[in-house]
């Protein structure tokens, strides 16, 4: 069947298209095809025309046919394609009068054979260029896809054991199942293993997915599979698996082509394997040869650079050839096999002969250590040798070496000597460590006994006890202290020389003078033969030692002495113990001295701290003191309590003289006191003028109290200090301290005086501020009293005016109503309007008077504070305002409200005014929304009333709470303008405040605050 577009030609009986047929094409009749044999079937008319014919031609054949139709006769090979298959025909045509005529011959087999031959030649040429197995596999996979049209290629090979198959190369993404199953056993029941086992190609036209490959699964898309064994030199070593996505018939030529392709691939793979094996063997041989050369060179270098000699012995002749390493080109041959023993030391000769004979008898390695004569010296050598056997197991020769080990033997001997010397040093060092350990134990014992002790007597006693217990009972320990020109024993333990208690020695004694000048312990041996007063006074002792203590200015003022009765020399152990105890006592005495100094300094610092605390107390006590001179005298008393005898004065400039404002202590002379109290010249008194002008203190260790020509008869001034006193950022006066005796002003004294001057200035500044505050408070009380009187008068006037105006207004309103009743029928329209206006104005005046009376009454009535529940009060006010909500939609949003301390009646007026205003100004809205809430802010409770009414302009918010103040016209909203004024007055009396926020057309929010705790009510 050959298809042309939508029409298909089927030959009679369902047979394949003929190899030869005749065709005719006439315009209007279509294409006629007739089989070209004697029993030719009747012509078959095709409904298709040239477009259908052209559609099934390959692009190249279509171009060739269109070009050929321009000629009268033509002959072409055309390729027809249908459903993925191609078929080649040799077509001839000629033009006649009635149309085109021609014949068509099937040449598909010939063309396929040519194409396969070309592909085999191309594959062979590419495989010939590939040398490595990897390159061959790449060519196999590439050509299998290109030449055979395979969609999936797999190349497998037997393992070395021949029982398994592994993958060499593949094309396509591997599946997980594939990866997990390789390598496969050769006896697996799949096409791959079967082809290798049976050495037979398998062509599966409709493959069973489980028989094709062991890894096949349900989604396998292979329509045909060919498995080709790979064989070379009569051995099947693998297989080539080809999968095709389209059905294949695998005819004879195609099977032969695939088999020949597989043989080409197998030969190339085997050739590449042999090439790789040859290359590996060649490289291995080269590596082994290189290693042998390196080993020979290394051995030759080792022998030539070493201290060994090589010898070779022939077992047949017994000759020994000796190769001198130091002269590698020369050798010595001994015909007598035992001649080499003549150079061996006589003492070692027999032993060496026995070992060589034993090696010859047992054929075991030979080794001998002996001395050998070289020139005129004996050298220590080690001779070793091993037998070398031939292929029959007989000894071919003996090969050995002689190594000179003289240096090694001498080094070992020297090492043994050094070890002996080291052991002696270790024993000596062990004795020293034992002495040090005993000294450290004594020092630790002394430190444990003393601890944090600071009393000198206790420290000395414990040191003497430790010495006696450590050194022994046959010793005496003494503590000397230098008193004038004598060393007096103050503490001792042990027997002292008879008749010498208490022991006292001269400071000029040469031994004691040397010990006092020394920085370390002084050990005196052979004490009985020594000269001097100290040796004569203690002649019963064989050795004495002294340790200097309390060193000051290069000499000691105390000595620790230790005497030995039974020994005239000091051992290293006893020396170490005495030094350790002496150092410990020296450190303890220094600690005690330092502790005493610190206690003294702490006492001084305590006194100064007390003075500072006194200044601090002065600042607290006189915080509101209005008498500045009292403050100055208290500061002077504190300063004098911390200094030697003297007096303190405080001066302030008045005009051109210094005036004494405060003085403490005796000035030293009546004339000086008189001059100070009656004034001193401003600039002439330089001790006061200079610090006041410069702002810097003036200290003099020796000076007159005031530098004026007369000195005022004061002859007792020793030292003076004048410090400026600043108050409010300007100089106020000078604090002067004068001592009767010269005194160096130290850093502590200056800090204390400057602190005193600073505190005095601060106190004076606070005193001035307190006085000014008291004056302001007095003026404020006066103004408050005047304001209260004016408020009382104003309230009384308002009450009186409003009360007195009510009766006339009531009369006017009453007579106007009578007039309206009497003249009702006789009044014109204009007269009636005039009378109505009079009555309305009179009624408004009456309302104003009533509100004014209420406003006045709010300020006059006393507050009655009580606990008010705001939630309940709000509900009560809402019920009162219920008539105003009739016929309106009003939504109340009331949050949690607390309880407060307030006047319940007045607070009800506040809520009534605020809620009625909210209802009034929101009546223009379809639905009025009024929100009431409360919050705690610090020490206040803030309540707010918000509405969605007409609002107000915030720039006029300051007028809201004024009397008779309105922000809207009377025609828009009724009212008098006194309600919010009442709100502010009531909240103010409770200690709170009021304010409001709003925008035109967006509503308004009114706030008022009340104190969290009740306060004293305020009038007003």
Q: How confident is the model at residue 165 (pLDDT cuts 50, 70, 90)?
A: confident
688, 651 Cβ separation under 8 angstroms: yes
Q: Which residue's entry shows tokens 């329509």?
A: 223
Separation in Å, CA 545 to CA 329, 532, 566: 78, 15, 14
pLDDT at 708: 41
Can you tell me the distance from the alpha carbon of 80 to that of 58, in angstroms, rounded to the nearest whole number? 6
**Least confidently predicted of 9-23, 390-404, 833-847:** 9-23
Strands 202-204 and 224-232, sheet pairing: antiparallel
Helices (H), 475-538: 510-517, 533-537
511-528 burial, b at 16+ Cβ within 10 Å, e below that, comes to bbeebbeeeebbbbeebe
The arithmetic mean of pLDDT across residues 719-728, rounded, is 89
pLDDT at 833: 76
> Taking the mean position of all CA atoms in its chain, how far away is CA 53?
81
778-790 burial, b at 16+ Cβ within 10 Å, e below that, comes to eeeeeeeeeeeee
Burial class (CB in 10 A: 0-12, 13-18, 19+), 364: exposed
3-state SS track over 222-233: CCEEEEEEEEEC
720-742 burial, b at 16+ Cβ within 10 Å, e below that, comes to bbbbbbbbeeebbbbbbbbbbee
pLDDT at 863: 72
The arithmetic mean of pLDDT across residues 872-881, rounded, is 88
Please report the DSSP string for 916-980 in residue order: HHHHHHTTTSSSEEEEEEEEEETTEEEEEEEE-S----GGGGGGTTSTT--SS-TTTS---S-HH
Residue 940 has pLDDT above 80, yes or no: yes
C-alpha atoms less than 13 angstroms from C-alpha of 743 in its C-beta half-sphere: 23
Q: Count of CB atoms within 10 A of residue 748's CB?
A: 12
The arithmetic mean of pLDDT across residues 112-116, rounded, is 78
For the chain, the structural domain boundaries read 20-112, 130-279, 305-412, 451-598, 628-704+713-860, 862-1011
Residue 650 has pLDDT above 60, yes or no: yes
**Least confidently predicted of 78-82, 419-423, 763-767, 959-963:** 959-963
Please report the DSSP string for 864-930 in residue order: -EEEEEHHHHHHHHHHHTGGGGTTS-EEEEE----EEEEEHHHHHHHHHHHHHHHHHHTTTSSSEEE
Residue 932 has pLDDT above 90, yes or no: yes
pLDDT at 187: 82
Q: Per residue in 360-382, pLDDT tens?
A: 888 899 899 899 888 888 989 99
Q: Would you give the DSSP letter of residue 58?
A: -
Q: How confident is the model at residue 604 (pLDDT cuts 50, 70, 90)?
A: low
Q: Which of 447-451, 491-495, 498-502, 948-952 has the highest mean pLDDT?
A: 948-952
pLDDT at 566: 80
795, 859 Cβ separation under 8 angstroms: yes
The arithmetic mean of pLDDT across residues 969-990, rounded, is 71
pLDDT at 622: 57
Query: In 3-state terms, what secondary structure has residue 644?
Result: coil
Q: Per residue in 680-700, pLDDT tens?
A: 888 888 888 899 899 899 998
The arithmetic mean of pLDDT across residues 189-203, rounded, is 85
Q: Which residue's entry shows tokens 């152990």?
A: 573
Residue 936 has pLDDT above 80, yes or no: yes
Separation in Å, CA 962 to CA 129, 437, 471, 737: 115, 101, 108, 65
pLDDT at 891: 92
Residue 239 has pLDDT above 50, yes or no: yes
| Domain 130-279: CATH superfamily, name plus number | GAF domain (3.30.450.40)
Q: Per residue in 325-356, pLDDT tens?
A: 544 333 455 567 788 888 899 999 899 889 98
Tell whether the torsion through CA atoms of 612, 758, 743 and 741 is positive or negative: negative
Q: Per residue in 127-157, pLDDT tens?
A: 788 888 888 888 888 888 877 778 888 898 8
Q: How confident is the model at residue 1017 (pLDDT cuts 50, 70, 90)?
A: very low
pLDDT at 945: 92
Residue from 99, 106, 103 nearest 80 by CA: 106
CATH of 862-1011, one of 3.30.1300.10, 3.90.1300.10, 3.40.50.150, 3.30.565.10: 3.30.565.10
Tokens of 887: 């016929």
Residue 112 has pLDDT above 60, yes or no: yes
Tokens of 552: 């000051």
Q: Residue 803 — φ and ψ, nearest 5°?
A: -70, -40
The arithmetic mean of pLDDT across residues 101-130, rounded, is 81
Domain at 451-598, CATH class? alpha beta
Q: How confident is the model at residue 722 (pLDDT cuts 50, 70, 90)?
A: very high
Residue from 494, 476, 537 nearest 512 by CA: 537
pLDDT at 967: 58
C-alpha atoms less than 13 angstroms from C-alpha of 153 in its C-beta half-sphere: 21
> Taking the mean position of all CA atoms in its chain, how far away is CA 137?
56
Can you tell me the distance from the alpha carbon of 771 to that of 764, in angstroms, rounded to the nearest whole number? 10
Query: Does residue 814 or residue 552 have the better pLDDT?
Result: 814
Q: Would you give the DSSP letter of residue 18?
A: P
Q: How confident is the model at residue 3 (pLDDT cuts 50, 70, 90)?
A: very low
Q: How confident is the model at residue 931 (pLDDT cuts 50, 70, 90)?
A: very high
Can you tell me the distance from the alpha carbon of 516 to that of 933, in angstroms, rounded to the nearest whole number? 95
The arithmetic mean of pLDDT across residues 383-411, rounded, is 86
Can you tell me the distance from the alpha carbon of 265 to that of 258, in angstroms, rounded to the nearest whole number? 10
Averaged confidence pLDDT in the chain: 77
pLDDT at 653: 92
Domain at 305-412, CATH class? alpha beta
**Cα radius of gyration rounded to whole Å, the chain:** 68
Can you tell me the distance from the alpha carbon of 235 to that of 270, in angstroms, rounded to the nearest whole number? 10
235-252 burial, b at 16+ Cβ within 10 Å, e below that, comes to ebbbbbbbbbeeebebee
pLDDT at 126: 82
Strands 890-894 and 928-937, sheet pairing: parallel
Can you tell me the distance from the alpha carbon of 742 to that of 273, in angstroms, rounded to the nearest whole number? 118
Residue 981 has pLDDT above 70, yes or no: yes
Residues 425, 430, 431, CA angle at the centre, nearest 5°?
Answer: 100
The arithmetic mean of pLDDT across residues 963-970, rounded, is 58
Residue 964 has pLDDT above 80, yes or no: no
pLDDT at 218: 40
**Least confidently predicted of 2-6, 658-662, 991-995:** 2-6
- Helix, strand, coil percentages (3-state) for the chain, rounded to 5, are 45, 25, 30
Query: In 3-state terms, what secondary structure has residue 554?
Result: coil
Q: Measured in Å, how far apart are the chain's first and last C-alpha atoms?
A: 123
Q: How confident is the model at residue 506 (pLDDT cuts 50, 70, 90)?
A: confident
pLDDT at 11: 38
Residue 14 has pLDDT above 60, yes or no: no
Q: How confident is the model at residue 846 (pLDDT cuts 50, 70, 90)?
A: low
The arithmetic mean of pLDDT across residues 881-906, rounded, is 87
74-109 burial, b at 16+ Cβ within 10 Å, e below that, comes to beeebbbeeeeeebbbbbebeeeeeebbbbbbbbbe
Domains 130-279 and 628-704+713-860 share a fold: yes
Burial class (CB in 10 A: 0-12, 13-18, 19+), 221: exposed
Can you tell me the distance from the alpha carbon of 888 to that of 900, in angstroms, rounded to the nearest whole number? 32
Q: Which of 416-425, 493-502, 777-786 has the highest mean pLDDT?
A: 416-425
CATH of 628-704+713-860, one of 3.40.50.300, 3.30.450.40, 3.30.470.20, 3.30.1340.10: 3.30.450.40
The arithmetic mean of pLDDT across residues 871-878, rounded, is 90
942, 994 Cβ separation under 8 angstroms: no
Can you tell me the distance from the alpha carbon of 255 to that of 205, in angstroms, rounded to the nearest whole number? 12
Strands 85-96 and 73-82, sheet pairing: antiparallel
């Amino acid at each position: 069947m050959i298809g042309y577009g939508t029409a298909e030609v089927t030959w009679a009986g369902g047979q394949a298209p003929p190899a030869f047929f005749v065709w005719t094409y006439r315009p209007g009749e279509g294409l006629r095809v007739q089989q070209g044999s004697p029993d030719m079937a009747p012509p078959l008319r095709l409904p298709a025309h040239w477009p259908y014919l052209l559609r099934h031609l390959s692009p190249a054949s279509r171009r060739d046919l269109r070009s050929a139709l321009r000629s009268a006769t033509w002959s072409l090979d055309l390729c027809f394609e249908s459903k993925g298959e191609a078929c080649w025909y040799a077509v001839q045509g000629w033009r006649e009068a009635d149309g085109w005529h021609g014949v068509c011959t099937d040449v598909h087999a010939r063309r396929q054979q040519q194409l396969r031959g070309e592909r085999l030649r191309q594959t062979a040429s590419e495989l010939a260029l590939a040398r490595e197995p990897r390159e061959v596999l790449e060519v196999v996979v590439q050509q299998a896809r290109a030449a055979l049209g395979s969609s999936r290629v797999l190349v497998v090979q037997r393992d070395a054991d021949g029982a398994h198959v592994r993958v060499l190369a593949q094309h396509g993404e591997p599946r997980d199942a594939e990866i997990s199953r390789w390598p496969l056993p050769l006896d697996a029941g799949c096409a791959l293993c079967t082809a290798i086992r049976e050495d037979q190609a398998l062509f599966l036209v409709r493959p069973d997915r489980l028989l094709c490959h062991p890894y096949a699964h349900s989604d396998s898309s292979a329509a045909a599979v060919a498995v080709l064994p790979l064989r070379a030199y009569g051995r099947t070593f693998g297989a080539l698996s080809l999968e095709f996505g389209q059905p294949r018939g695998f005819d004879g030529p195609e099977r032969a082509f695939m088999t020949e392709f597989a043989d080409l691939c197998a030969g190339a793979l085997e050739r590449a394997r042999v090439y790789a094996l040859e290359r590996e063997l060649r490289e291995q041989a080269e590596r082994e040869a290189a290693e042998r050369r390196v080993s020979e060179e290394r051995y030759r270098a080792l022998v030539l650079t070493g201290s060994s000699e090589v010898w070779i012995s022939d077992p047949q002749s017994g000759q020994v050839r000796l190769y001198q390493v130091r002269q590698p080109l020369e050798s010595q041959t001994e015909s007598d096999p035992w001649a080499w023993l003549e150079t061996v030391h006589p003492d070692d000769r027999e032993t060496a002969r026995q070992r060589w004979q034993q090696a010859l008898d047992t054929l075991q390695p030979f080794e001998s250590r002996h001395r050998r004569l070289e020139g005129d010296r004996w050298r220590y050598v080690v001779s070793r040798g091993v037998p070398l056997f031939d292929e029959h197991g007989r000894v071919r020769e003996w090969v050995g070496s002689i190594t000179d080990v003289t240096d090694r033997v001498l080094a070992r001997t020297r090492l043994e000597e050094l070890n002996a010397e080291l052991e002696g040093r270790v024993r000596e060092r062990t004795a020293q460590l034992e002495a040090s350990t005993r000294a450290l134990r004594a020092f630790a014992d002394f430190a444990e006994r003393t601890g944090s002790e600071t009393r000198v007597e206790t420290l000395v006693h414990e040191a003497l006890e430790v010495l006696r217990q450590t050194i022994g009972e046959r010793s005496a320990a003494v503590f000397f202290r230098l008193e004038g020109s004598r060393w007096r024993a103050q503490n001792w333990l042990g027997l002292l020389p008879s008749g010498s208690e208490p022991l006292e020695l001269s400071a000029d004694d040469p031994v004691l003078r040397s010990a006092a000048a020394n920085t370390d312990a002084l050990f005196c041996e052979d004490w009985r033969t020594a000269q001097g007063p100290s040796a004569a006074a203690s002649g019963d002792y064989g050795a004495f030692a002294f340790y200097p203590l309390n060193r000051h200015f290069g000499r000691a003022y105390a000595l620790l002495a230790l005497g030995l009765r039974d020994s005239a020399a000091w051992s290293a152990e006893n020396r170490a113990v005495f030094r350790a105890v002496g150092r410990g006592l020296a450190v303890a005495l220094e600690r005690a001295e330092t502790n005493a100094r610190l206690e003294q300094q702490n006492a001084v610092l305590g006194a100064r701290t007390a003075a500072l605390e006194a200044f601090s107390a002065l600042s607290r006590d006189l915080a509101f003191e209005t008498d500045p001179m009292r403050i100055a005298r208290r500061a002077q008393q504190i300063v004098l309590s911390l200094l030697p005898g003297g007096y303190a004065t405080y001066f302030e400039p008045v005009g051109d003289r210094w005036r004494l404002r405060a003085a403490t202590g005796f000035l030293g002379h009546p004339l000086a006191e008189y001059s100070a109290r009656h004034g001193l010249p401003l600039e002439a008194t330089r001790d006061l003028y200079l610090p006041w002008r410069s702002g810097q203190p003036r200290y003099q260790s020796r000076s007159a109290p005031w530098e004026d020509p007369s000195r005022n008869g004061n002859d007792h001034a020793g030292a003076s200090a004048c410090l400026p006193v600043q108050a409010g950022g300007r100089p106020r006066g000078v604090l002067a301290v004068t001592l009767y005796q010269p005194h160096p002003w130290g850093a502590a004294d200056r800090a204390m005086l400057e602190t005193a001057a600073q505190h005095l200035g601060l106190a004076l500044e606070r005193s001035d501020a307190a006085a000014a505050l008291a004056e302001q408070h007095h003026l404020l009380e006066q103004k408050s009293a005047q304001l209260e009187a004016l408020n009382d008068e104003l309230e009384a006037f308002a009450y009186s005016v409003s009360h007195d105006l009510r009766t006339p207004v009531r009369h006017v309103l009453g007579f106007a109503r009578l007039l309206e009743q009497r003249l009702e029928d006789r009044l014109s329209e204009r007269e009636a309007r005039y009378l109505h206006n009079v009555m309305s104005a009179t009624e408004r005046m009456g309302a104003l008077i009533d509100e004014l009376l209420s406003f006045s009454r709010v300020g006059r009535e006393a507050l009655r504070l009580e606990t008010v529940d705001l939630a309940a009060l709000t509900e009560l006010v809402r019920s009162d305002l219920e008539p105003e909500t009739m016929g309106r939609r009003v939504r109340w949003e009331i949050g949690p409200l607390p309880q407060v301390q307030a006047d319940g009646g007045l607070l009800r007026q506040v809520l009534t005014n605020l809620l009625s205003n909210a209802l009034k100004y929101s009546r223009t809205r379809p639905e009025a929304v009024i929100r009431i809430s409360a919050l705690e802010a610090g020490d206040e409770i803030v309540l707010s009333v918000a509405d969605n009414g007409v609002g107000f302009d915030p720039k006029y918010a300051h007028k809201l709470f004024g009397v008779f103040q309105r922000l809207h016209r009377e025609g828009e909203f009724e009212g008098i303008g006194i309600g919010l004024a009442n709100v502010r007055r009531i909240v103010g009396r409770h200690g709170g405040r009021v304010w409001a926020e709003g925008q035109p057309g967006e509503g308004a929010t009114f706030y008022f605050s009340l104190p969290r705790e009740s306060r004293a009510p305020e009038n007003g």
